[in-house]
Structure 1
């Protein structure tokens, strides 16, 4: 081959190419960011609108529906959903995967701005953001103090700690939860306001009017000028009480006359506790694309500095740190990669029995792996679990080509050729087959890299990394390996050649004896030689003094004896072809019989040492009640010896309400606890049933594979709300009975208590009031209306709000007594009349929904559930579908599965598509190699032979069919063809040299057995550390390695016999067709002259 001959003739050139690859790889590695998973752009945009105090019914009618209808025409939109809760509307837009998300966000922003005037005037401006799972906090810090009140802790966290952290490069933001900010509250006295004829809006106007600084211009004095300003800012919060609202009979009415000024805290809607003590939590988000580990390290460094600078009673504790999990996971993958490389090198040495040959072959590994970092940098990848997993799985693949090339070069040296000639001819002889095997492997990873859906985005970096590394290994095998083989003479090869010659002489001696004595003579010769060597090692001129060499020699001698029997077994198979085909078919049938019992899941369960307990209390529950229930769950968790610490948060999060909470649970390391994560969660589920008034849901930690919600989500849709509730309740009841279902919950949790103010329009008009004036009066009194902002001595600003005291807004009577300022004028005072609300409206207790969901412009209720350990997601989902079908929903009402179930269904289709493309690409490569349309079938019909190994491996290890195992099966398609290519290609070469078919097959099988077995065992041992699942998070990676190892074992053993049998059958079929064609041509009458 040109490339290998050029490298042999110009060794410096070949060396410099290798150095260039390594230098590029090392420089690229230093520039790569480190993250847990690939940075994926999700085609999801969220429009969030806050409408303080509005009920879900008002939110959906006045905010969510108008926004949905306006955005439903955005190009590329796949689906629109919305969730309307108290005071907030969240509209979620899912676009097609190939949509331009940046452009779509601009379109959404423009459409929302266009309809802004149609929305209520007192909402906060809608926020349009792109959803990114990487926007979740990468590290969380709890701030606690045993001496300071929550207000002071919150201000310290917000104004000092958060400010320092936000200045760190790579930090995208800091979210605070569990605290209560400082707030100046003007609490009004209804009786005093009625007495003075003052309304809440007048109080707010006075506060805003009297607390401001107004520029008045400038004055000039000679060559200078000075600014003139009116300074009316309030310096001391107590001064707010002296502000005059109006004048009655020449006497000012001040804030102190109608209310009380309190320098306090905002109304608490969130709470947080770390190990049972109140805390303020800071959730730190990173900028997309920044290095997670570096950002987390910087945050830890700043936290350490702050703790030394802050008062001693302030304690800063890192609650969660994704960088720790990332480090542990990446360290585990790196360890598995290194251990796999070492085991692979040992296998090579065991077979080649030469440290020089091992070095020549083994150099392919570091060069290919290091150069892969260059491709990762060029494509904008990161060092993450998927890219390192690709390199770990590819250990055996990367050295595969080098093994085959070096083994064939050694074979030519043992034929008596000099090293230059052996390197050139040995590489050329095997070159086309090696290229074909590499292209076959590439052919299966290219479809993996370009799969559709979420799975395609996740595995894109995996497929590209493997493809580049394998192509580099091919390049190294055709340059560095033949070059080193030509200039670096190996004495061990000469010793092996002599030993081989002795064995051949022994076989010749045995063949020369009568048949009945052949085995005995050969055995005696070997036994005599072995005895002489044991008595006097010097007696054996080919015996090494190195004990490791002697062990490898003994192994190779035993392997050669077994290999010598292989042609006899193959000859028997060729005589019993039907029996071999029946056996192969039976293995495939058994595999397909096992697969259904394995079950389908989206991703394997991982014991990452952490999980979340999401819980809800009854609708309408107060913050204190929900916090108390959370403490009960925490108490149980803390009683478990496996728990390291817990962090309780109530009311926080993206959609948090005061009746919802979350408990983050961190377990002790696996080597310090007796029970697994699944066992602990099972015990917790039993304990949670004993806590009344709590609806729990146990979930894993979020990642790109899920964990944000429960794995099973069923959306029930229908037009009419009351009937939809009934249908959803029926679906929930049906799902509860499905085996394997855990914590089924409904988004329709029940109605929350509320007060309805029903205005009598006639009375209101007579009193000079309208609906708007009544609503504008009530809203700020209960939600708190920000009148102005006050700046403290340090320059920090705090809200000044006007509100009713908590004690005066607890009942319908309190609401009915609220004074409302009318447009009518009081004849006695000349001021606007003040009337009680009860004069113009009736205040009644009622109920309303806590949350309203919509999908595709239609109302829905979501049913969510988890899956118990030892149950497969696919099986549980199938049983749930059957149970729902038996419910019999009325016309117009339907159900649809989303979440992990939808991901699993989509993944099956994408994997099958990738598998089909891989098989097509493999056929194209094989047909090109063999120059035949039918001969590739002899190899491709052996592809299903790996299925029995996969099924048995998963059955023995109690695994399931999931994303990882499916990718492993696709990977096997390329690996299985490798063995067949080596066998069939050499058979064709032998037949071209004039050998008869059977003789060529038997000869090729014997010669190619060593590289086939060597490469297979090298690949198996390279993946063995992955399959053993020893490191952090390895449970997710192990199934792929186990599937590949099991498939390699069975496919290799079966291929050695099935491929030759199928080869002969196809060859016979072609021969029969050719003979028929010849006969047909012979029967055609010769043309008559003159016709």
Structure 2
């Protein structure tokens, strides 16, 4: 074999190749970013448009529907989802994977830009951007003070803390939640306005013209030039009171005669509570493409310095840090890798009873793992849970080739060959089988790496990382292992050597294991005499596993303890921020009373829509060892206590990162909201009947109270009042209008807002008295002021608080969490009962969310599994030059399913993405043992041995190697299977599936594969005798030297 011969002849070259791989790998490792999961570019574009003070129905008609219809023809659009609420439109456009998202986003901007001129003038500029995972807050910091008031605390946060944090490398943006920004408020007295025959528009105009700084030009003095600037900015807020609004009969009317000027703060639209007490929060987001962990470390390092500089005026505290879980999870996976490597090496030492042989084989592990970092750096991968988990699972696999090569070399040494010859012949003899086993493993990882959908993007790095590490392990096994075996004399393999200490104990084990060879030879002989009995036992075991499999249940991903969760609540539509705060305090008090809760952090009005009746409470738990209850028992107990809370709709769920946190999402679609209301209510009732569903809710809220103003168009036209003038006047009176800005000594600008005083904004009767300037003149040619009540009527009504649309059709989204039952079983229960709901024509029910993701992902996994099996057969048929021998080897595949099902059932796991990926991995592993057995049996038959003797001899000879490699793989995965560390629950099912499959496939392969091999051989012979096959001339099977 070229590689092994070259390495044996050129040991320095072989050593330097290994050194180069390790050095490059170590340098690459230092450059790799760290994150929880691989970087995945989501092909989603969002469009957010604000239309202040307008009802959801109007926003839907004037903005949402127009944009949806404009962007729908864009190539690659998969789904369009929109949410419309009061004064707010949010549209998410999901494109097909593979779409150039930059081009797609530009197409969206072009379409929306063309619509912009058709929008009402009050519609704000749409904000169009790609949906970036970097927009998720990484660190949340609370800011409290015993000395400063809300306005001063907000100013300190804006001027100092926010800017300092945004200057940290990697920080993209800092958003303040719960701040009360300074605002100069001009609170008009309606009676005084009427007394002076003035309108709000005149007040706004006077403020704008009276607070200006205008450049007047420049004066040239020869070589010098001076700018002329008219300084009209008011230096103090109190000076606004003395502005002249209008002169009536030569008498000036000052602002203080019409209004009260207050140096206050903006109307609060968001709120933050730390343990039930008001606080100011800073949500920190990272720059796209930056390292999450490094950014969070820099922020955490800056917080103590800022606290020191604040000198007690305010206190900063980190209340949420997503990087902690990432760091702990990655650290724990590294520990499992190290433990797996130690266990694997110990297995090798136990079987080989030689520390030198153990070192020769064990060196494959660090070289392969470290070299994988080089490939990760070249391809732009990150150190994340999936890439490290792949390397952890592959620990026993990486040393597998080295074990096979070294064990075969040692066998030749024990037969009398010298080290040099044994290394050369032993490697060459086993080489083709090792190549075949390695490529069968790679054959299962390549389909995993190239699965479709978002799930394929997540496992792309996983599959390629393991595949590359396995290739490197093959390279090391054919270079460094034979080189060291030829040069490094190992006295431990010499017969009759005197052993001491643990070596003597292991020698006893070795002698016992040698005796098992005889037992195994008799077992093979018995199996070959009772072939159909053995096949029957294997078949019954397989059928038993199929019967047991449905009891596993199915889920998308395993649930895991992150040490945190959130409680979302939704108060009655129209609730004020004060009412929502009361609800949040009450819920927070119940949460804080639970055993194991460290603290709570609540936010109101900071969600995607900014609704004041919605909020979420982040719950941070104490470390696992300090909790009296498990993570799931704590959540279940809390859910039970909150179920009786009637002031809001409550959901206990995972921390939301992107999208809805609830796993069950069912869309009821159709044209009419009233019918959707009835259908969604019926679906909610059905879902509540399904065991395992909790927190059942829907997107359709109770209708929000409103006051409708109806204009008498004929009368208004006669009196010179336009509809837009009415709307603008009332909006200015209630919401206020920013007339100008006040600049303080530091150059910071604050809005000057004109509106009615608070007591006059509480009654509809006040609005009826508001006067508007007519476009017509009276008989004397003077301006006319027309009371609103003269041209409009007021009535109380209700309207939808939120309207959702999916693919241009209205929808109501019914959602739920699961508890105590797998997601797949719950979804199936809903599907079974859905037929009770009669759908009118034009209405449909569509499953979305995790149910759709799980269905789609399982399809991709099944395709990857099928491709893996096909690739394995192609590789085996090519190696053995036979269409039937690969079938005998592939009998290991269904036999492995027995152990997978039993192990998952015993551990209480479900059939989920992680266990299914483990099943695919298993397809490549379980064939390795059968390949070694069949390859050697064929070699013996070609040398003249009859079939039964060849099978018995091959099994006996390869028994040690098969058991050793299997145990090495099992012990290498044990740390993963035992759920060691943070997030271990998500990793464990994959390892358990592999371990269970390895155990049963190995035990059954040792007896079932020889049986099937013989049966297929007999079948081939019969077909040849029947003339169905033409017997080809006997040819030599390919060897690695070919």
Q: Matches of 1:98 and 1:124 in 2, distance apart?
A: 32
Cα-to-partner distance string for 1:487-543 (whole Å, 9 max, x where unaligned) = 00100010xx34xxxxxxxxxxxxxxxxxxxxxxxxxxxxxxxxxxxxxxxxxxx44
**2:730 paired residue number:** 778
Cα-to-partner distance string for 1:952-1008 (whole Å, 9 max, x where unaligned) = 111111110111001000010000111110010111111111100111110000011
| Aligned equivalent of 1:681, options 632, 635, 651 | 635
Shift of 1:558: 1.6
Q: Matches of 2:629 and 2:973 in 1, distance apart?
A: 27
User: RMSD in angstroms over aligned alpha carbons?
Assistant: 1.4
Moved more, 8-17 or 836-845: 836-845
**1:873 paired residue number:** 823
Alpha-carbon spacing, 1:347–1:798, altered in 2? closer, same or farther (3 Å): same
Q: Matches of 2:784 and 2:243 in 1, distance apart?
A: 22
Q: Is 2:803 the counterpart of 1:849?
A: no
Shift of 1:587: 1.5
1:11 and 1:483 in contact (8 A); partners too: yes
Shift of 1:24: 0.7
Cα-to-partner distance string for 1:562-586 (whole Å, 9 max, x where unaligned) = 2321010011001111111111111
2:176 and 2:283 in contact (8 A); partners too: yes
1:709 and 1:899 in contact (8 A); partners too: no
| Aligned equivalent of 2:904, options 933, 938, 954 | 954
**1:488 paired residue number:** 488
User: What secondary structure sits across from 1:279 in the alignment?
Assistant: strand
Shift of 1:52: 1.5
User: What secondary structure sits across from 2:1027 in the alignment?
Assistant: helix
Q: Is 2:666 the counterpart of 1:711?
A: no
**1:963 paired residue number:** 913
2:595 and 2:628 in contact (8 A); partners too: no
Cα-to-partner distance string for 1:457-511 (whole Å, 9 max, x where unaligned) = 11111001001100000000000000000000100010xx34xxxxxxxxxxxxx
Alpha-carbon spacing, 1:857–1:1080, altered in 2? closer, same or farther (3 Å): closer
User: What secondary structure sits across from 2:52 in the alignment?
Assistant: coil
1:853 and 1:859 in contact (8 A); partners too: yes
**1:8 paired residue number:** 8
Shift of 1:825: 2.8
1:699 and 1:707 in contact (8 A); partners too: no
Q: Write out the 4+ residue segments of structure 1 that deviate beyond 4 Å after TM superposition.
A: 1078-1081
- Compute the TM-score of the two structures, normalised by the length of structure 2: 0.98
Q: Is 2:359 the counterpart of 1:404?
A: no
User: What secondary structure sits across from 1:1037 in the alignment?
Assistant: helix
Cα-to-partner distance string for 1:661-690 (whole Å, 9 max, x where unaligned) = 100000001111121111011011111112
**2:415 paired residue number:** 415
Cα-to-partner distance string for 1:1048-1080 (whole Å, 9 max, x where unaligned) = 100110111111111001100011111111999
| Aligned equivalent of 2:1023, options 1073, 1081, 1084 | 1073
Residue correspondence of structure 1 range 489-638 to structure 2 within 5 A: 489-494=489-494, 497-498=495-496, 542-545=497-500, 547-638=501-592
Shift of 1:722: 1.4
**2:185 paired residue number:** 185
| Aligned equivalent of 2:739, options 780, 787, 808 | 787
1:700 and 1:707 in contact (8 A); partners too: no
Residue correspondence of structure 1 range 1036-1055 to structure 2 within 5 A: 1036-1055=986-1005
2:520 and 2:956 in contact (8 A); partners too: yes
2:183 and 2:750 in contact (8 A); partners too: yes
User: What secondary structure sits across from 1:45 in the alignment?
Assistant: strand
Alpha-carbon spacing, 1:1078–1:677, altered in 2? closer, same or farther (3 Å): closer
Q: Is 2:937 the counterpart of 1:1009?
A: no
User: What secondary structure sits across from 2:714 in the alignment?
Assistant: helix
1:48 and 1:91 in contact (8 A); partners too: yes
Q: Is there any run of 5+ residues in structure 2 with no aligned partner, and where?
A: 1032-1042
Q: Matches of 1:1078 and 1:258 in 2, distance apart?
A: 108
Q: Matches of 2:92 and 2:327 in 1, distance apart?
A: 33
Q: Matches of 1:924 and 1:230 in 2, distance apart?
A: 85
User: What secondary structure sits across from 2:45 in the alignment?
Assistant: strand
Q: Matches of 2:68 and 2:594 in 1, distance apart?
A: 47
2:1023 and 2:1029 in contact (8 A); partners too: no
**2:98 paired residue number:** 98
Q: Matches of 1:782 and 1:584 in 2, distance apart?
A: 79
2:893 and 2:927 in contact (8 A); partners too: yes
User: What secondary structure sits across from 1:666 in the alignment?
Assistant: strand
1:194 and 1:834 in contact (8 A); partners too: no
**1:517 paired residue number:** none
Shift of 1:831: 4.8
1:812 and 1:844 in contact (8 A); partners too: no
Q: Is 2:592 the counterpart of 1:641?
A: no
User: What secondary structure sits across from 2:555 in the alignment?
Assistant: coil
Alpha-carbon spacing, 1:1080–1:753, altered in 2? closer, same or farther (3 Å): closer
Residue correspondence of structure 1 range 649-798 to structure 2 within 5 A: 649-702=603-656, 708-798=660-750
Shift of 1:588: 1.3
**1:435 paired residue number:** 435
**1:247 paired residue number:** 247
Shift of 1:749: 1.3
Q: Is 2:94 the counterpart of 1:139?
A: no
Shift of 1:1026: 0.4
Q: Matches of 1:702 and 1:132 in 2, distance apart?
A: 15
Cα-to-partner distance string for 1:345-403 (whole Å, 9 max, x where unaligned) = 11110111100000000000000010110111011011111111111111011101000
**1:1057 paired residue number:** 1007
Shift of 1:20: 0.5
Q: Matches of 1:1075 and 1:1020 in 2, distance apart?
A: 45
Cα-to-partner distance string for 1:743-788 (whole Å, 9 max, x where unaligned) = 0111111100011001111221222101111011111222222112
| Aligned equivalent of 1:899, options 824, 837, 849 | 849
2:22 and 2:367 in contact (8 A); partners too: yes
Q: Matches of 1:44 and 1:707 in 2, distance apart?
A: 12
Alpha-carbon spacing, 1:707–1:1008, altered in 2? closer, same or farther (3 Å): farther
Alpha-carbon spacing, 1:1079–1:295, altered in 2? closer, same or farther (3 Å): closer
Q: Matches of 1:277 and 1:929 in 2, distance apart?
A: 71
Shift of 1:132: 2.2
Moved more, 210-219 or 1041-1050: 210-219
**2:765 paired residue number:** 813
Q: Matches of 2:142 and 2:262 in 1, distance apart?
A: 28
Cα-to-partner distance string for 1:389-431 (whole Å, 9 max, x where unaligned) = 1111110111010000000000010010000100000000000
Q: Matches of 1:747 and 1:707 in 2, distance apart?
A: 14
1:393 and 1:1023 in contact (8 A); partners too: yes
Residue correspondence of structure 1 range 234-313 to structure 2 within 5 A: 234-313=234-313
| Aligned equivalent of 1:1033, options 965, 979, 983 | 983
Q: Matches of 2:354 and 2:54 in 1, distance apart?
A: 79
Shift of 1:903: 0.8
Q: Is there any run of 5+ residues in structure 1 with no aligned partner, and where?
A: 499-541, 1082-1091
Moved more, 1027-1036 or 795-804: 795-804
2:676 and 2:811 in contact (8 A); partners too: yes
Cα-to-partner distance string for 1:212-261 (whole Å, 9 max, x where unaligned) = 21111111112211111111111111111222222211122222221111
User: What secondary structure sits across from 1:83 in the alignment?
Assistant: strand
**1:533 paired residue number:** none
Q: Matches of 1:591 and 1:419 in 2, distance apart?
A: 47
User: What secondary structure sits across from 1:80 in the alignment?
Assistant: strand
Alignment coverage as a number of residue pairs = 1032
Shift of 1:548: 1.6
2:594 and 2:638 in contact (8 A); partners too: no
Q: Matches of 2:376 and 2:849 in 1, distance apart?
A: 31
Q: Matches of 1:815 and 1:574 in 2, distance apart?
A: 98
Q: Matches of 1:1052 and 1:784 in 2, distance apart?
A: 77
2:276 and 2:584 in contact (8 A); partners too: no
1:197 and 1:833 in contact (8 A); partners too: no
Moved more, 787-796 or 385-394: 787-796
